[in-house]
Structure 1
Amino acid sequence: MLVGTSIAMSGCILDDIPIGTGYAAKYLCSGLWISQIDEQRLTEDFIAPQVAPLPLIWKIDIDETSHTVTVRDRLFGSQNAKTAYFREGLGCTLIHDKTLEELDRQIPYEMTYPNTDYQSLWPAGDAPIESLHPQFDHTLLESVIDEAFAEPEGVTRNTLSVAVAYRGELISERYSDDIEPASPLLSWSMAKSITATAAGILYDQGVLMEDADVLVPEWRDDARSTIKLQNLLQMNAGLDWNEAAQGDDPDQGYGLFEVPDMAGYYVDQPMVATPGEVFNYSTGSSNLIASLVQDKVGGALSDYYEFIQNHLFKPLNITSAIVEFDATGQPVGGAFHYLSTRDWAKLGQLYLNNGEWNGQQILSEEWINKTLTPSNSNPLYGYQIWLNTDRGFWPSLPASTYAFRGFQGQIVMMLPDYDLVIVRTGVTFNNEGASSTSDPAGIQALALGIIASLQPE
């Protein structure tokens, strides 16, 4: 996402202001009214470092009555102003050229409101962990989690939560002071794995095929007609895309914060490579997959909302999930999903269970196998999930390890060799640059420590 810049307000930095105001408005809106995080912490600790030097000139207006956040800059006033609007159950949306009344007309007639079970233990309910698991050295485990919340030199970790599930049982969890077990937390690119899951459900129903012809009508009469769903899932569609949020041609920044139609922005990109040959990580690709799923289930925001609730979240007793939508009413399949740490762990457990949940096959084993098969264009990537093929991603962890991964250290890691699911969320900044550490959030160290705390039977 957005990276730190110098203080000089010139060149491409001026061009980045509209992206920065959109980032700030959207992040602050969702952080306030979805995650319930303190405004000062959001602006000063989470947002400002990411959009520097914009905070020197920004003006933020929060309207508690209309549930809107507007961010503008003091150089150009309203020219670069962005407003994000919060809708209960749907999160925040940058309004662009829509009115609040137009966005309200997208709201489903019937919304799902959580009926949280505080009597049953995870994953059936949300009762607190009752006892220490006998299979773990909990003194060691807690010291490992202590380290995950520590702030090493050169890194600002801002760890928000850590949870560990073993053999389908939640055995440890911890949260920062302002985060609760029920707090929905930002996915960033972990949303991509949920989007692939939604596509897999439709695949299992025979509705959405990997090799379907002409995914998008606009591609019918040109070379893009050869792009298959599998290419989108494996990030090798061959379309021009720069996964950057600022600077020259920041497609990710434009595609998330500058345009009302996020999937449409990706659809309009030209082809620059043969589908299937070149890996090019693309949030736009995931946004298009989500849009394709929405089209197959009815086409409206309400149709996608009902589909994802009834076919994924409700069967797993996921009560916190919020999928955010763009101004056109399409799901932001590449970035903006919010779930509690416990609910993220349920999704990880679903994959570790090979798609089965309480006797119901939510995802077929066939789809799980496809998801976890390395692509030809990148052996470390399957269907919107990162793989540890030949230990190429986490050298000290088993090759069977795989994960949902997101910006700033979001992860749901599955370790089949140990029957473990590990969730870590945070807002991590590598203050000394990429060369200081390749794992500023300490993900591999966390996983290794948890494994070390697991005692032999």
Structure 2
Amino acid sequence: MFTHRALHLPVVLSLPLLLSGCILDDIPIGTGYAAKNICSGLWISGIEETRLTEDFVAPQISPLPLIWKIDIDESNHTVTVRDRIFGSKNEKVAYYREGLGCTLVHDKSLVELDRQAPTELLTGQVDYHSPWPKGAASIDQLHPAFDHSALEMHIDEAFRDTPDATRNTLSVAVAYKGQLVSERYSDDIEPDSPLLSWSMAKSITATVTGLLYDQGRLSPMAPAPVAEWTGTEKSVITLKNMLQMNAGLDWNEAAQGEDPDQGFGLFEVPDMPGYYAEQALDTPAGTRFNYSTGNSNLLARIAQNEVGGTLEDYYQFVQQTLFQPLGIQSAVIEFDAEGQPVGGAFHYLTTRDWARLGQLYLNKGEWDGEQILSSDWIEQTLTPSEPNPLYGYQLWLNTNQGFWSDLPANTFAFRGFQGQIVMMLPDYHLVIVRTGVTFNNEGASSTSDPAGIQALALGIIASLQPE
């Protein structure tokens, strides 16, 4: 089956008028963004096509949708996006592989990409009878610790738009003392729908690094094992510098506009970690916090090289050492065209599985009587870095209530673009997951929390019954 979908440029809109709102260099980033995210949204998350393209993808790359042309090939599992002005010059193709998600093909053929795939995908039996976190049974009773009318009212609010933001909340889940007490999903999203991490992937990459630390294979204090840096001024950069985002490399975490390293590094190059590794050292390592998706992509490559170097090696290690012990079966880690994990952005898990990862951290690395991550690693991860006390090892801290002013100082979270969050509140034994595709509305007043994360957390806390 071949599906063709196109949005046409209105005849009243001239080319100069269009391009006046669109930097030409942004067009190939935009077509790459569209192809990759439509591909993954369709075949990983199962989001309805019109909603995906018009409500979720198009607003992020405006005004490109006025001239884009989208071809969806169901038989080959490819999505091709080009623009109607420059045609194939800016064309991007994303290819879906089962268990591996979508990859922008760049100069690779589909056959070459297929050769990277694992010889066998790891799957397990889903236990539909046991409750979360061990199984996938539905919540069958109200938890006595909560005023559930109040709880559901606050979750309702998380799904409502505000004058400042179009929230597009996809899911909310709440776990208390290791039990799932509430979950909610938007239209066409189900409990078994894997949903995009954006930068929450960084926290998984740090977790994989921690597994290798616990095995004695990587050390935060050692120079980062990056071949391109050997014998250069970058050789002093430690793994800890990378984990804390203070490696000192020049990087602009912007998706479009002037010098958009993040956008270029995710959608324009086949070798994502290599692009970051080549950036110039512009600040002494350890002195300046500079948030960088490229940094996390390189961290993931370091881990991949440590476990064997191939896509299959990384896939097997993460599945067998992290996901399977936690009962996580939905996880899809996407790879670049060179077969390297996109450790800074492109991981997909169900809402329940994101909550499992949060529970692992709330449990200080322990799971069902087994220490999956050492308490030593958890302590390091949650230690504020000197250049930015709100950041640990690839996750966000609330040190001195500097991030969420009304939440406890020991709150911490995986966070991602457009309002993705897995928040841990140790004082309340809570894990809160929220996913969505949130946009600040045009002309909206400045807001640091358009997705309403702090309000949601405060509402959930307020719903707890006095003991």
TM-score in terms of structure 2 length: 0.95
Q: Which residue of 1 aligns with 2:273?
A: 263
Q: Which residue of 1 aligns with 2:366?
A: 356
State how far apart, in whole Å, the 1-side matches of 2:461 and 2:241 are: 35
What amino acid does structure 2 have at the position aligned with 1:21? T
Change (3 A) 1:434 1:206: farther
SS in structure 2 opposite 1:413?
strand
Change (3 A) 1:434 1:280: farther
State how far apart, in whole Å, the 2-side matches of 1:395 and 1:278 are: 24
State how far apart, in whole Å, the 1-side matches of 2:419 and 2:22 are: 27
State how far apart, in whole Å, the 1-side matches of 2:223 and 2:24 are: 42
Is 1:115 the counterpart of 2:125 in the alignment?
yes
Q: Could you list the runs of 5+ residues in structure 1 that have no partner in the other structure?
A: 1-5
8 Å CA contact 1:7–1:53 kept in 2: the answer is: no
Change (3 A) 1:433 1:423: farther
1:283 to partner: Cα distance? 0.2
Q: Which residue of 2 aligns with 1:3?
A: none
1:301 to 298, 302, 311: 311
1:11 to partner: Cα distance? 8.0
1:429 to partner: Cα distance? 0.3
State how far apart, in whole Å, the 2-side matches of 1:146 and 1:246 are: 34
Is 1:233 the counterpart of 2:243 in the alignment?
yes
1:216 to partner: Cα distance? 1.1
Q: Which residue of 1 aligns with 2:142?
A: 132
State how far apart, in whole Å, the 2-side matches of 1:433 and 1:448 are: 27
State how far apart, in whole Å, the 2-side matches of 1:367 and 1:37 are: 37
What amino acid does structure 2 have at the position aligned with 1:161? S
Q: Deviations over 1:27-57 (max 9, x none)?
A: 0000000000001001100011000000010
SS in structure 2 opposite 1:84?
strand
What amino acid does structure 2 have at the position aligned with 1:330? Q
Alpha-carbon RMSD across the aligned residues, in angstroms, is: 1.2
Change (3 A) 1:440 1:417: same
Q: Which residue of 1 aligns with 2:453?
A: 443
Q: Which residue of 2 aligns with 1:184?
A: 194
8 Å CA contact 2:411–2:423 kept in 1: the answer is: yes
Q: Which residue of 1 aligns with 2:76?
A: 66
Is 1:198 the counterpart of 2:220 in the alignment?
no
What amino acid does structure 2 have at the position aligned with 1:332? V
Q: Which residue of 2 aligns with 1:216?
A: 226
8 Å CA contact 1:7–1:52 kept in 2: the answer is: no
Q: How many pairs are equivalent?
A: 452
1:343 to 326, 344, 353: 353
Is 1:172 the counterpart of 2:182 in the alignment?
yes
SS in structure 2 opposite 1:384?
coil
State how far apart, in whole Å, the 1-side matches of 2:445 and 2:275 are: 33
8 Å CA contact 2:164–2:444 kept in 1: the answer is: no
1:36 to 43, 46, 51: 46
State how far apart, in whole Å, the 2-side matches of 1:376 and 1:408 are: 27
Identity over the aligned pairs, expressed in percent? 73
Change (3 A) 1:144 1:15: same
What amino acid does structure 2 have at the position aligned with 1:371? T
Is 1:161 the counterpart of 2:176 in the alignment?
no
1:295 to partner: Cα distance? 0.1
What amino acid does structure 2 have at the position aligned with 1:9? L
1:264 to partner: Cα distance? 0.2
Q: Deviations over 1:228-253 (max 9, x none)?
A: 00000000000000000111110000
1:434 to partner: Cα distance? 7.1
1:21 to 10, 25, 31: 31
State how far apart, in whole Å, the 1-side matches of 2:30 and 2:59 are: 11
